[in-house]
Amino acid sequence: MSQEYKELEVNKFFRALVKLEGSDLHLKVGKPPCVRVRNELKPLNHPVIERREMAEYLVPMMNERNRRIFDDEGGADFSHTCEVDGVRWRFRVNLLQQNACMGLVARRIGNKIPDFKGLYLPSAIEQLCFYDQGMVLLRASRAREKARRSRRCSITSITASGCIS
């Protein structure tokens, strides 16, 4: 059986996230588990999580590779799956180390891929999907460009008229 399909105790929090139709799960030592529902963090009906309890929840989620990365870098990013009412859900997970304590932030990945209308983008963007050659570059508005100039960052913008080989 693969690591990600084992039944883990931490899955009870992932199930609560799905059932509450939340987007994110936050686990932090000294706080109760929280889920983000419609941009608001809501604590679950669970006592605060102690340091040892957090390790018991999170360490079993990692395979050897992710454990090595976590130990070397103080954090690890990976995917996790959990079955809820017969449906397998996927999550992007970030395990982190903060003030010598483990923590978790996870994002639920939707099971349905929306059609173009479900993305609520302008119809002109849809036409870009039908080009079979070249590169399409979308860039920020002038207001964002001015805001970027006020902070240090490295952005390369390419403007082309014609073909790029």
Task: Provide the CATH topology of domain 3-109.
Answer: Beta-Lactamase (3.30.450)
DSSP state, residue 75: E
Spans of all domains in the chain = 3-109
What's the pLDDT at 124? 82
What's the pLDDT at 163? 45
In which band, very low, low, confident or very high, does the pLDDT at 1 lie, cut at 50, 70 and 90? very low
- Give the mean pLDDT of the chain: 85
Q: Sign of the C-alpha dihedral, residues 17, 22, 23, 24?
A: negative
The verdict on pTM exceeding 0.85 is no
- pLDDT, one tens digit per residue, over 45-63 is 999 999 999 999 999 999 9
- pLDDT, one tens digit per residue, over 66-85 is 999 999 999 999 999 999 99
